[in-house]
Amino acid sequence: MAESTTNPGRRRRLPSSGRLLVAQVGYQLRLLLRTPRALGAGVAVPALLLVLSNPKGGDLPASHLAGLAVLGVTVTAWVTHGIGLVAAREAGVLKRWRAAPLPPWCWFAGRISATVLVATLAAGVTVGIGVARYGTRLDAGTAVGLLVAVGLGALAWATPATALSGVIPSVEGASPILTLTYLPVILLSGVFGSPIGQPHWLTTLASYLPAQPMIDAATRALEHPAGPPVLPGHDLVVIAGWAVAGLVASLVLFRWEPSRPAGRSPVRRRLQAAAS
């Protein structure tokens, strides 16, 4: 109190950018892990599909394990992340964050970093089941290769989802829009196995979407654990391109303000009550 009296115009300084970012990543990570959708859809569903598709154990194709691991990443980084952003915006949570002294870039980086970490966790659970139940080999080279493919791939899904959330008008429309935009991509990309009789142009198209390069890179890491833990040129360019394009689009399309005035929607009122 004496300090405030002596220096009435003195303002308390914010922590350094590094400390702010670490704190924001931790906060967003706890927020995501408390969301049943994040754990149920991204972690439990791929693991359950893996066990149901191979109930007796035995050899497990690397491409099948990689596809289901990528499924967990896409559900978490695209659907869960996108729906969460729309819900927070329409509940007025993002508006309050925008008015806080926290720099906007720090909020963005914290939210996306936490999403990438949870998506990596989802893939890790699926791969862990493959190791424990089906004897999949996992050494240091394989682990690093998988982390590179999954981490960069999660970023390539999270940044476009951030941009798309800006044009989704309501919470009610978020799930159908996000699901319908990613489901064809994972089907074409072979998440559940290579489509039979697929035209060549569809195969080419899938190679320029983020899911198939992720599957190819993860499969290569599982099949060649002694190889270098880096993405091949085409896969790296495609995944990095989606991540950068999504980031640029997010800067243009992302919105902090709700689409409609607060109080008109019962759904929004419930979200505001839950967020407060």
Whole-number Å distance between alpha carbons of 231 and 213: 9
Q: How do residues 139-164 score in pLDDT, each as one tens digit?
A: 888 888 889 899 999 999 999 999 99
Whole-number pLDDT of residue 115 = 94
Q: Does the predicted TM-score (pTM) go above 0.95?
A: no
- Answer whether residue 5 shows pLDDT above 50: no
Contact (Cβ atoms closer than 8 angstroms) between residue 129 and residue 53: no
> Domain residues of the chain, as ranges?
18-254
Model pLDDT for residues 87-124, shown as the tens digit of each residue = 999 999 999 988 888 888 899 899 999 999 999 999 99
Region label for 272, one of left (φ > 0), alpha (ψ between -120 and 50) or beta (otherwise): alpha
